């Protein structure tokens, strides 16, 4: 990794460990400290893994105390040696128990005021444990501020995500060589997962939402339109009722859409893409729906700028689907968004959704995914990862978005 006065350039090599630079961590921490001062809080205690990595550079079993003023303190239960290696923070100590953590916090803060915790993801039993440990400090939810800070990506983060794009693009270019008529979805998915794993993919992405999981959606024909609990346009039967989404044992046939929706994760950062393949041509109806999805994407690229309201683009997509006679198929059943943020989690802010007002800002990373779902037949559409710049949307990959007929 190389940092220059002109910006950030990251050089990745096979098997090279990527550590978050100290300057990057301090910039993030200072932004959170600004919020703490404005809100009149003494500190924030960071516990959740994605947030912990974002602010400390490590995912070891640790608690990060970020005071409104002064240096952060990383308290590590396991593994202290690895935390020292991975984190560029200066104040890192070993602790054995929650009592040690409580004493360290008490020694750093005044015995009054507010302390922020990530209440959107903190289990209730841990909340009560922290409440007792931190008394008489008042616990205040700081998760909204953290998510808003993480919503705007730095040049360093964008470079990390471009590396993920590079690896993901290699996988999508390999898909036509792996698809065979009669193979099962889970066989195709496993081959794609192996291709990605040996290139550094960490596996399924992290999600912030409770009880949501996101395996690769490698789905064919009717199974790509088979509903599930997953909060997205596609579901899939999955392998059993114990994991009822994603690829299953359905065999891949001819003249049906094969949807490959893969969220790859390299060095912690996730990107999200969907492409449609087919062994033989698809029906005119499905082709026209796919072309409508591509036209929605093009309108987004033409018109999405900083300062715009994200809700307007959801409304635009709905109106375009309605004019094409496809409104009942747009984004599947019960799904009211067409885009979401990306970063260390798959479901970051912002959300481009119905009745969700958000002012778009430069530095946002977006997965935009107009799709059309036809029960009993399949799903068509596209998904790409974009960065919003001062001049508009920049697509981070160069993959062909037309239906790939094999």
pTM for the whole structure: 0.93
Tens digit of each residue's pLDDT (9 = 90 or more) over 365-382: 999 999 999 999 999 999
Comparing CA positions, the residue from 66, 65, 92 lying closest to residue 81 is: 92
**Beta-sheet strand order (sheet of 392-395):** 348-353, 337-341, 365-368, 384-389, 392-395
Buried b (16+ CB within 10 A) or exposed e, 243-267: ebbbbbebebeeebbbbbbbbbbbb
Contact 205, 348 (CB under 8 A): no
Write the burial class of residue 144 (CB in 10 Å: 0-12 exposed, 13-18 middle, 19+ buried). middle
Q: CB neighbours of 157 closer than 8 A, spacing ≥ 6?
A: 269, 343, 365
For 105-133, the pLDDT digits (tens) are 999 998 789 999 999 999 999 999 999 99
Pairwise CA distance, residues 181 & 172, whole Å: 18
Is residue 205 within 8 A of residue 214, CB to CB? The reply is yes
Torsion over CA: 277, 279, 280, 282 (sign)? negative
Kind plus residue range of the DSSP H or E element containing 354: none
Residue-wise pLDDT for 219-236, tens only, equals 999 999 999 999 999 999
- Tens digit of pLDDT per residue, the chain (406 long)? 443 323 333 444 444 568 999 999 999 999 999 999 999 999 999 999 999 999 999 999 999 999 999 999 999 999 999 999 999 999 999 999 999 999 999 999 987 899 999 999 999 999 999 999 999 999 999 999 999 999 999 999 999 999 999 999 999 999 999 999 999 999 999 999 999 999 999 988 999 999 999 899 999 999 999 999 999 999 999 999 999 999 999 999 999 999 999 999 999 999 999 999 999 999 999 999 999 999 999 999 999 999 999 999 999 999 999 999 999 999 998 899 999 999 999 999 999 999 999 999 999 999 999 999 999 999 999 999 999 999 999 999 999 999 999 9
* Amino acid 10: pLDDT: 45
């Amino acid at each position: 990794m190389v940092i220059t006065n002109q910006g950030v350039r990251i050089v990745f090599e096979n098997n090279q460990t990527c550590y978050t630079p100290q300057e990057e961590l301090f910039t993030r921490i200072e932004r959170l400290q600004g919020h703490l001062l404005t809100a009149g809080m003494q500190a924030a205690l960071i516990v959740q893994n994605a947030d912990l990595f974002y602010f400390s550079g490590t995912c070891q079993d640790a608690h990060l105390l970020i005071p409104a003023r002064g240096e952060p303190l990383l308290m590590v239960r396991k593994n202290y040696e690895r935390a020292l290696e991975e984190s560029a923070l200066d104040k890192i100590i070993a602790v054995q128990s929650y009592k040690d953590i409580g004493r360290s916090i008490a020694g750093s803060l005044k015995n009054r005021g507010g302390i922020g915790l990530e209440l959107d993801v903190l289990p209730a039993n841990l909340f009560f444990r922290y409440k007792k440990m931190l008394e008489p400090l008042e616990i205040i939810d700081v998760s909204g501020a953290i998510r808003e800070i993480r919503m705007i990506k730095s040049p360093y983060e964008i470079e990390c995500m471009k590396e993920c794009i590079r690896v993901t693009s290699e996988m999508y270019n390999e898909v036509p060589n792996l698809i065979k008529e009669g193979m099962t979805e889970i066989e195709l998915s496993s081959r794609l997962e192996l291709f990605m794993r040996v290139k550094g993919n960490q596996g399924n992405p992290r999600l912030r939402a409770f009880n949501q999981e996101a395996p690769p959606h490698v789905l064919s024909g009717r199974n790509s339109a088979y509903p599930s609990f997953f909060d997205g346009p596609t579901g899939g039967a999955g392998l059993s009722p114990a994991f009822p989404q994603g690829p299953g044992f359905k065999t891949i046939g001819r003249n049906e859409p094969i949807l490959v929706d893969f969220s790859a994760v390299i060095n912690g950062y996730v990107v999200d893409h969907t492409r449609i393949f087919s062994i033989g041509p698809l029906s005119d109806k499905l082709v026209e729906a796919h072309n409508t999805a591509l036209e929605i994407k093009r309108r987004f690229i033409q018109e999405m700028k900083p300062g715009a309201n994200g809700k307007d683009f959801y409304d635009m997509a709905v109106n375009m689907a309605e004019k094409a006679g496809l409104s009942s198929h747009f984004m599947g059943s019960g799904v009211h968004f067409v885009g979401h943020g990306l970063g260390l989690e798959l479901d970051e802010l912002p959300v481009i959704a119905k009745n969700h007002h958000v002012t778009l800002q430069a530095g946002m990373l977006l997965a935009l995914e107009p799709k059309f779902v036809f029960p009993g037949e399949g799903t068509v559409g596209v998904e790409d990862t974009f960065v919003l710049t001062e001049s508009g949307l920049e697509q981070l990959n160069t993959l062909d978005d037309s239906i790939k007929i094999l």
